[in-house]
Amino acid sequence: MRRDVFQAIADPTRRAILLLIAAHAMTPNAIAEHFNSTRQAVSKHLKILTECELLKQKFTGREIYYEVNANKMKDIDKWLAQFRKIWETRFSQLDTVLAKLKQDKK
């Protein structure tokens, strides 16, 4: 079953997992140590993030390492960029209004 990326990142624990392993790959046990939940619960989150392709698995011997899939994160950033432009425009307009109000007070 293919999961929706935005549904996956809506969960705060999954966002925390992404932030945790953004710097370097980690094993499921190492990830689980950072959370007050069961290893099975963390595994479920890892499975969802992997299904959404936000995480990639690397096998080293018998260990599985999870790492962030930067390409998929870029897709999210591209989608968010359209909203970033809207807000930047609105803030620029607000700056203009505030500057005019400040000028009118003098």
* pLDDT at res. 2: 64
Q: Where are the alpha helices (DSSP H) in 1-106?
A: 5-9, 12-20, 28-32, 39-51, 70-105
Longest dimension (CA), the chain: 72
pLDDT tens-digit map of 62-79? 999 999 998 888 888 888
Q: What CATH class is the domain 1-68?
A: mainly alpha
Instruction: Kindly list the domain boundaries of the chain, sorted by start residue.
Output: 1-68, 70-106
Q: Please tell me the distance from the alpha carbon of residue 36 to that of residue 10, in angstroms, as a whole number.
A: 19
- Is the Cβ–Cβ distance between 31 and 66 less than 8 Å? yes
pLDDT tier at 1, thresholds 50, 70, 90: low
Structure-model confidence comparison of residues 16 and 106, the more confident one:
16
**Residue pair 28/66 in contact by the 8 Å Cβ criterion:** yes
